[in-house]
Amino acid sequence: MTALLLPSLVTAVILYGLCRRVNVYEAFVRGAREGLLTLCAIAPYLAAILTATALLRACRAMDALIVLLQPVFSALGLPAEVAGVVLLRPLSGSAALAAVGDVLRACGPDSRAGFLACVISGAGETVFFTASLYLGAAGVRRSRHALGAALAAYACGVLAAGILCR
Amino acid sequence: MNIVFCVMLLSGVVYAATTGNLSAAQDALLSGAGEAVSLCLSLAGAYAFFGGLLAVLRESGAADALSRCLRPLLSRLLPFAPGEEKAMGDICINLSCNMLGMGSAATPAGLAAMKTMAAAGGNTGVASDAMILFFVLNSACPEILPTTMIALRAQHGAVNPADIVLPVLLSTGISAMAGIALCRLLVRGGEECA
């Protein structure tokens, strides 16, 4: 199914371009150049955010924060085991994936904690990474309430998941 | 972002110093930026490819046609400032790719849309209302099939690995609606934060 998606998409795009008498090759090269230039423009932002993330993970500050906040999670009706997943998801996709793996191993994939960890990780997004990409590409220096709103929306999603998965 | 970055770095260093973990901190500081560079290299191919495909879509008018179809919905959802609606084609592609779980196709379109909107506002370096809401939608976007999680659940022997689909959809839906509501409340003139 997914293997079919991209090839058929490419075929459709090329055929449509040909019908509209677009120089497909030239357009593709222009777009590829633009994509690569965008990537160069955002690379420094990524360097900054990934350095900060790597530091927080390596010095175990995240682990301490997770232990510290576990009672808060219990109070909110979320199993304490998912605290790591919830806190890591906005920071780093790979770290959150590892945390989900830990929960699945410890509690099993069909326990409430295991199920919830998967839902939260599937529903969440690496907010800080996305912020550095999107705001960086647009050259935004004053992001106003962007980060706050995105994190609040994420928190709502997590709480909703907690209520939905009883 | 300035505050976030400084808090992350300072608290990391202070915590490492108090727990005597400074050598790990040093390694992380030296490798973090390298990680970013190798990530960019691994992304470069996808960006070039999808950027190229997007340009064909744009120049053949398909992006315009798509945005005409979704215009009523999107212009109600995103508080466009004059000129920003030029980004609508890219926004449509970005949101639909996101829902289909094609992140590597969604991001180049999303970044192009952000650039267009920034240019429409004169590249002032201040995020507009539409730019903020678009970013929030990208960080709380419903994904129809969370394939990574389903695969991970299957690998751990879940009875029914795909049973997370509906809860994921519902909680991202709620998260997206919360984000939209918040941005609506905080339209230009509201308080600034972060």
pLDDT in tens, A76-104: 889 988 998 999 999 888 888 889 999 99
The closest CB to that of B171, out of A42, A119, A133, belongs to: A119
Q: With CB atoms and an 8 Å threshold, state whether B12 touches A56.
A: yes
- On whether any CB of chain A is under 8 Å from the CB of B86, the answer is no
Asked if A157 lies within 8 A of B54 by C-beta distance, the reply is no
Give yes or no for a contact between B87 and B120, defined as CB atoms under 8 angstroms apart. Answer: yes
> Which whole number is the average pLDDT over B5-16?
89
Tokens representing residue B138 in the block: 């990208």
Least confident of A4-8, A12-16, A69-73, A116-120: A4-8
**What is the percent of chain B where pLDDT is above 70?**
96
Assigned domain for A29 exists: no
pLDDT over 70 at B104, yes or no: yes
At B192, is the pLDDT very low, low, confident or very high (cuts 50, 70, 90)? very low
Whether residues A119 and B125 touch (CB distance < 8 A) is answered with: no
Q: Determine the 3-state secondary structure of A17 from DSSP.
A: helix
Is residue A58 classed as helix, strand or coil in its secondary structure? helix
Whether the complex's predicted ipTM surpasses the cut of 0.90: no
> Largest Cα–Cα distance of chain A, in whole Å?
63
* A130 located within any domain: yes
Is B31's Cβ below 8 Å from some Cβ in A? yes
Q: Which chain A residue is nearest to residue B159, measuring alpha carbons? A: A110
Domain encompassing residue A119: 41-164
Specify if A117 maps to a domain.
yes
Residue A160: predicted pLDDT:
93
In total, how many domains does chain A have?
Answer: 1
The answer for A78, left when phi > 0, alpha when psi is -120 to 50, beta otherwise, is: beta
Query: What's residue B193's pLDDT?
Result: 42
**Contact state of A131 with B8 under an 8 Å Cβ cutoff:** no
Q: Let me know if residue A3 belongs to a domain.
A: no
Span B153-181, pLDDT tens digits: 998 989 988 899 999 999 999 999 999 99
Q: Tell me the average pLDDT of chain B.
A: 86
Contact between residue A80 and residue A87 where contact means Cβ atoms under 8 Å apart: no
Strand residues in B38-96 grouped as ranges (E): none
B6: exposed, middle or buried (C-beta count within 10 Å: 0-12, 13-18, 19+)? exposed
Q: What is the pLDDT of residues A145-156, one digit of tens each?
A: 999 999 999 999
Cβ distance B111 to B94 under 8 Å?
no
Cα angle B167-B106-B132, degrees, rounded to a multiple of 5:
80
Chain B residues whose CB is inside 8 A of the A103 CB are: none
B182 contacts A54? CB cut-off 8 A: no
Nearest to A142 by CA among B191, B70, B42: B191
- Set of chain A residues whose Cβ sits within 8 Å of the Cβ of B107: 133
Residue A2's pLDDT is what? 58
At residue B191, does pLDDT exceed 50?
no
**pLDDT tens-place string over residues B110-159:** 999 999 999 999 999 999 999 999 999 999 887 787 888 888 999 898 99
Q: What region does B122 belong to: left with phi over 0, alpha with psi -120 to 50, or beta? A: left
> What number of C-beta contacts closer than 8 Å exist between A and B?
330
| Chain-chain contact of B138 with A125 (C-beta, under 8 angstroms) | yes
Judging contacts by C-beta atoms under 8 Å, the chain B residues touching residue A149 are 132, 136, 179, 182-183, 186
Q: What percent of chain A has pLDDT over 70?
A: 98
Return the SS3 of A131.
helix
Q: Is A64 on the interface with B (CB under 8 A)?
A: yes
Say if A25 falls within a structural domain: no
Q: Please check the confidence at residue A166 and state whether its pLDDT lies above 80.
A: no
